[in-house]
Structure 1
């Protein structure tokens, strides 16, 4: 008898479990798309096209953010960026919220930038302020909102965006000072704790990093890891979004929010969080409903909540941060959107 151990056979179930453990997100997307192509071929093709088109549209934001993050890490410039956010918390939060309100990022396009900022060690309070304000308003959205809903509504939406960002930043800063949220990112995403590793341990900056093989390898490694991470979650997000648009039409969601008073504002806030409505497509729908008697406050609450936490954005946020931060983000979006709707409704009735 030989003492040499026989190699263990790997069963199909073992292979599936291994793949599921490592690549469950990609596997889920593949199974979902395959099921659609088998049982709903037309919708499967439509969902695949929708996902590909949206990934193409968000690619410039992905590549820019990934490139900046990888370059900052390879050169050591992430320490400079992180230290730029270590001044007065109040000033930092307000500036981040205003910058978010002026930036041209949608709810999905802002995700790669947020990932980069957190990985660089930018404090979560400033990131949350930018995060919440950015998807709600930008210069082109302001112009379009003015044309569709009027300048008063556009100003209210801008104030709501900045105020929501400031609210989120203050809440996070207060909780961080109490010892909470010290490690917001999921394992493997980066190290963006409060204050940031890069700010705590600054290193010399080498701008021409390509002369150093170690730094080149770090650049390529970080860029690839971040690209694959964001690509898989955005793929799932856009697949699910395509099904929501097909099976839960946007106009049906919007038409369920009619009526006046506080109740429609609350309903609009809750529905707006998971429901997806492209900010530009939502404006004429909400404008038509307001013309038919829907409360302006409900319209504002729906636009703000939907812009911040549409399904694709929520899935991407879930992938980036730990559960307490995710639920805090949802809670701030709910509270801030509802408050903005109520305040605007009171303003319009004066």
Structure 2
């Protein structure tokens, strides 16, 4: 039987769908032009205005991500997986919450870590924390939903990472989850090189032509990626504000009861677009009466267990590890939503 190989992933988490955001935007605009032409100019104005409002945060997040890549600062992640298991779990959760990897982009790195013999508890801590928050996401979350929400989401990322690492450590002590990867995996792809051969960090990267080119290349790529997804998100938000009744939102997820937060947790998995596109959508729902705890649960659950990311994890890990991943993600998201609802 031919060994399986790692599937290719596009940044942002949509699995093998070219220009999905642009296609969705064009189809949405075409649908408006045909079905409700009177709404089309209002949606366009709303989308452009919203993009201008978030532009400072967008530019800052793009420059920050490009700087991390060009300087080699993303290679610091390799140092999180050294020492005692407890220390590794804590440092992996912390680094995961600050790493620039998306839910699918982290998969090749996870394969490399596991193939090198890095303990599964530390890898799981990073695996769960990384898709929830990163520097770019923190800045955009603060701009769209406010600084308290961004801080809460960052703490949720670290907390879920710690929870996952500790639970996996206890399960392994009982003899479970000894072989995490499916047969044929382990190379880790290009992302794995950050762990196997971490580059030296050049804080003043602009002194090297190759790093300057990397900065420009990644900045452009991130700018196009974020721009098209945010444009789609604001376009959908304009329709949501018109056609989703506020009293329905309040009735379904308008309280911080555990049922409301649990519903948002479960709905976040299939309904999630990607981390950046979901922010303005959540902002619109919160303005309509969605409870902050439910919004937190939706964003955290969707970030970890979005359908593309879940497909990637299922293709990479053995079934028991995949089920543990999903269970920990949902339990952690529900807990994060309930706790944030109590504090908000």
TM class by shorter chain equals 0.5 to 0.7
Residue 225 (structure 2) aligns with: none
**Per-residue CA shift, 1:291-346, capped at 9, x if unaligned?**
11111000000000000111111111001111110000000001000000000001
Q: Which of residues 316, 340, 344 in structure 1 aligns to 2:340?
A: 344
Question: Equivalents in 1 of 2:160, 2:137: separation in Å?
Answer: 17
What's the CA shift for 1:52?
Answer: 12
Pairing 1:114-193 to 2, within 5 Å after superposition = 114-190=110-186
Question: Equivalents in 1 of 2:136, 2:164: separation in Å?
Answer: 24
Q: 1:113 to 1:52 in 2, by over 3 A?
A: farther
Larger Rg: 1
What's the CA shift for 1:49?
Answer: 4.7
What's the CA shift for 1:48?
Answer: 5.0
Residue 318 (structure 2) aligns with: 322
Pairing 1:1-350 to 2, within 5 Å after superposition = 47-50=17-20, 85=81, 87-190=83-186, 258-260=253-255, 261-348=257-344
Question: What TM-score do the two structures reach when normalised by structure 1?
Answer: 0.59
Q: 1:51 to 1:318 in 2, by over 3 A?
A: farther
Extract unaligned runs of 5+ from structure 2: 7-15, 24-68, 70-77, 189-195, 198-231
Question: Equivalents in 2 of 1:51, 1:345: separation in Å?
Answer: 31
> Contact 2:3–2:184 at 8 Å: present in 1 too?
no
Q: 1:289 to 1:100 in 2, by over 3 A?
A: same
> Contact 2:81–2:92 at 8 Å: present in 1 too?
no
> Contact 1:104–1:138 at 8 Å: present in 2 too?
yes
Q: 1:145 to 1:118 in 2, by over 3 A?
A: same
> Contact 2:110–2:123 at 8 Å: present in 1 too?
yes
Q: 1:187 to 1:270 in 2, by over 3 A?
A: same
Extract unaligned runs of 5+ from structure 1: 1-20, 27-45, 54-63, 65-80, 193-204, 207-244
Q: 1:24 to 1:89 in 2, by over 3 A?
A: closer
Residue 231 (structure 1) aligns with: none
**Per-residue CA shift, 1:91-150, capped at 9, x if unaligned?**
110100000011011111111111111111111101000000001101111111111111
Question: Equivalents in 2 of 1:48, 1:274: separation in Å?
Answer: 20
What's the CA shift for 1:259?
Answer: 2.2
**Per-residue CA shift, 1:225-244, capped at 9, x if unaligned?**
xxxxxxxxxxxxxxxxxxxx
Question: Equivalents in 2 of 1:175, 1:52: separation in Å?
Answer: 44
Q: 1:326 to 1:51 in 2, by over 3 A?
A: farther
**Per-residue CA shift, 1:247-270, capped at 9, x if unaligned?**
xx8987xx6663213222101111
Q: 1:122 to 1:342 in 2, by over 3 A?
A: same
Question: Equivalents in 1 of 2:311, 2:154: separation in Å?
Answer: 25
Number of positions where the alignment pairs a residue of Structure 1 with one of Structure 2: 232
**Per-residue CA shift, 1:32-91, capped at 9, x if unaligned?**
xxxxxxxxxxxxxx95553999xxxxxxxxxx9xxxxxxxxxxxxxxxx79x84622111
